[in-house]
């Protein structure tokens, strides 16, 4: 039970930092929806969708590769660290040379709102190029902190990152207007350059935060050495490129819909639709937080525990409780959707109505995250057996589903089609990973029990949202019923755990 205890402890620490950071970030959503119209917020969502996909490209799957090679070659830790960081540094330098001089042409491609001046859009593009490069340089130092077993330091830096970002946003959106309105010191100087309601301040805040985070990682950066192994470098690239494609394919599933909404819908409406979809998707962040916190704790744990004789039983037990937890969160969020929707309230009744018109996508997106979380749990098999090509196949097929179906259905059904297609892609990936995984690396998952929890949660969510029309009291009664039933079903296992 000590291994499970260690896993739970690491996941709790990573989870707390992730939860604290993401919750603080989530509280920026009402700030943005009150400060910006759905059309302007659509630009925000569209640009961050591009950024998320390019982040994966710059990281090149090196985070997973770093952990795998530490496990394979424990005597070459320094060399692995040098090579991993060197790969990302090289890719980042090439990215800068291929993008920054051509920001004008890139802006012409990604622009979705003709009412925003083109010169402003070019600035947005340049800010994001800087953000992407600085964030990429942080990937391996953060991975080293996790590999060295310092979740506290990892959590502190991540937490400070979010605090700085949130503070800068509040400073630009509320602080400076307050100074100007009350004619406080430096009002004349601030009035000379400050632009009320300018979206660019969000991106400037992000760039400053990324730079400060890189500086906080200086102790890890100073541990880099010029020692380099060409043979190891190419061996790591061979391992990482399928991981890169798999990660990129996953991010296509996560972000391409917002990009295609901007491209396929009428130009006078596309930015608004992207804004509605992006804002409503923010409510699913709590389930996303749990899935991400699990991944942070699980990946290094799975690799380090792989040689234990009872490894597969441990993985199966973790899956059991993961499914229960993720289904519980799914039901809880939908049960309280009438409260959570106030986080995407606009500056007046008309703007609020625009944002709330998309609430119907939330249960669908949430179930998509349930499927994604289970897929991430299942994906341990191809990483542990060095068969990352299967990750490529699975994510590639999921991305193909996302691309083809969005191209077909977005022009007819808009963002609602994107939500259902996202769920379809993640569910397909989950099923494929289970089938191939049981053939190549059998893990004794309790399939009947896990399916029972998943199906029950879907039924309860349907009743809460559609039949009882989001009634908060009935929804929470269903949640309590589900939690009580789960507690009763797992009572023997829980008693055994707590007794030790």
Helix (H/G/I), strand (E/B), else coil: 348: coil
Q: Check residue 21 and give its pLDDT.
A: 62
Is the model's pLDDT at 147 over the cut of 60? yes
| Separation of alpha carbons 142 and 217, rounded Å | 8
Burial per residue of 440-476, b for 16 or more beta-carbon CB atoms within 10 angstroms, e otherwise: ebebebeeeebeebbebbbebbeebbeebebeeeebe
3-state class of 415 per DSSP?
A: helix
Using a pLDDT cut of 90, give the percent of the chain over it.
49
How many whole angstroms separate alpha carbon 376 and alpha carbon 388? Answer: 13
Number of domains into which the chain is organized = 1
Burial of 20 (C-beta count, 10 Å sphere; 0-12/13-18/19+)? middle
Mean pLDDT of the residues in the chain: 87
Q: Are 280 and 355 in contact (CB under 8 A)?
A: yes
Q: What is the pLDDT of residue 18?
A: 61
Span 146-153, mean pLDDT?
83
pLDDT at 4 over 60: no
Q: How confident is the model at residue 6 (pLDDT cuts 50, 70, 90)?
A: low
Asked if 291 and 13 touch (Cβ cutoff 8 Å), the reply is no
Residue-level pLDDT at 11? 59
What per-residue confidence (pLDDT) applies to 15?
A: 60
The answer to whether residues 47 and 124 touch, using CB atoms and an 8 Å cutoff, is yes
**How confident is the model at residue 222, as a pLDDT?**
92
Residue 169: closest CA among 138, 193, 200, 214: 200
CA distance 47 to 50: 5
| Parent domain of 271 | 2-499
12: pLDDT strictly greater than 70 = no
Summarize pLDDT for 56-93 with one digit per residue, the tens: 889 888 888 888 888 788 778 889 899 999 989 999 99
Question: Which pair of structure tokens corresponds to residue 167?
Answer: 């503070």
pLDDT value of residue 213: 95
Stretch 309-319: mean pLDDT, rounded? 84
Q: In degrees to the nearest 10, what's the CA dihedral of 489, 494, 496, 499?
A: -150
Can you tell me the distance from the alpha carbon of 422 to that of 399, in angstroms, rounded to the nearest whole number? 10
User: Higher pLDDT residue, 268 or 127?
Assistant: 127
Task: Please give the backbone phi and psi of residue 261, each rounded to the nearest 5 degrees, phi first.
Answer: -60, -40
């Amino acid at each position: 039970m000590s291994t499970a205890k260690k896993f739970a402890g690491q996941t709790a620490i990573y989870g707390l930092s992730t939860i604290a950071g993401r919750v603080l970030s989530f509280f920026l959503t009402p700030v943005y929806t009150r400060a910006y119209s759905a059309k302007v917020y659509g630009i925000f969502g569209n640009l961050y969708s591009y950024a998320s996909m390019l982040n994966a490209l710059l990281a090149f799957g090196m985070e997973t590769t770093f952990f795998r090679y530490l496990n394979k070659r424990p005597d070459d830790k320094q060399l692995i660290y040098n090579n991993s960081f060197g790969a990302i540094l090289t890719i980042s330098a090439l990215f800068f040379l291929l993008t920054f001089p051509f920001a004008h042409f890139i802006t012409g491609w990604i622009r979705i709102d003709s009412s925003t001046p083109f010169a402003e859009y070019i600035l947005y593009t340049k800010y994001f190029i800087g953000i992407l490069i600085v964030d990429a340089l942080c990937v391996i130092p953060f991975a080293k902190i996790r590999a060295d077993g310092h979740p506290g330091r990892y959590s502190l830096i991540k937490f400070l990152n979010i605090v700085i970002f949130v503070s800068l946003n509040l400073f630009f959106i509320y602080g400076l207007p307050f100074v100007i309105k009350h004619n406080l010191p430096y009002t004349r100087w601030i009035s000379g350059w400050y632009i009320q309601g300018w979206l660019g301040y969000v991106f400037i805040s992000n760039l400053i935060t990324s730079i400060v985070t890189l500086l906080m990682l200086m102790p890890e950066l100073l541990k880099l050495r010029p020692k380099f192994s060409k043979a190891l470098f190419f061996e790591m690239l061979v391992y990482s490129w399928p991981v890169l494609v798999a990660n990129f394919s996953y991010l296509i599933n996560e972000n391409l819909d917002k990009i295609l909404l901007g491209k396929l819908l009428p130009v006078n409406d596309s930015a608004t639709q992207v804004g509605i979809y992006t804002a409503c998707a923010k409510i699913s962040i709590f389930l996303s937080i749990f899935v991400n916190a699990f991944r942070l704790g699980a990946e290094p744990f799975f690799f380090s525990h792989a040689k234990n004789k009872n490894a597969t039983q441990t993985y199966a037990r973790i899956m059991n409780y993961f499914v229960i937890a993720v289904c519980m969160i799914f039901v809880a969020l939908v049960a309280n959707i009438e409260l959570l929707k106030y986080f995407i309230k606009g500056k007046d009744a008309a703007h609020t109505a625009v944002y709330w018109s998309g609430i119907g996508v939330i249960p669908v997106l949430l179930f998509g995250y349930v499927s994604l979380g289970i897929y991430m749990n299942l994906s341990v098999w191809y990483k542990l057996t060095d068969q990352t090509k299967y990750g490529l196949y699975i994510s590639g097929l999921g991305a193909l589903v996302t691309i083809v179906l969005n191209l077909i259905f977005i022009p007819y059904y808009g963002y609602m089609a994107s939500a259902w297609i996202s769920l379809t892609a993640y569910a397909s990936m989950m099923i494929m990973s289970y089938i191939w995984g049981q053939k190549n690396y059998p893990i004794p998952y309790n399939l009947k029990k896990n399916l029972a929890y998943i199906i029950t949660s879907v039924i309860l969510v349907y009743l809460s949202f559609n039949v009882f029309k989001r009634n908060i009291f009935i929804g929470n009664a269903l949640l309590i019923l589900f939690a009580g039933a789960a507690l009763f079903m797992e009572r023997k296992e829980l008693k055994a755990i707590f007794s030790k």
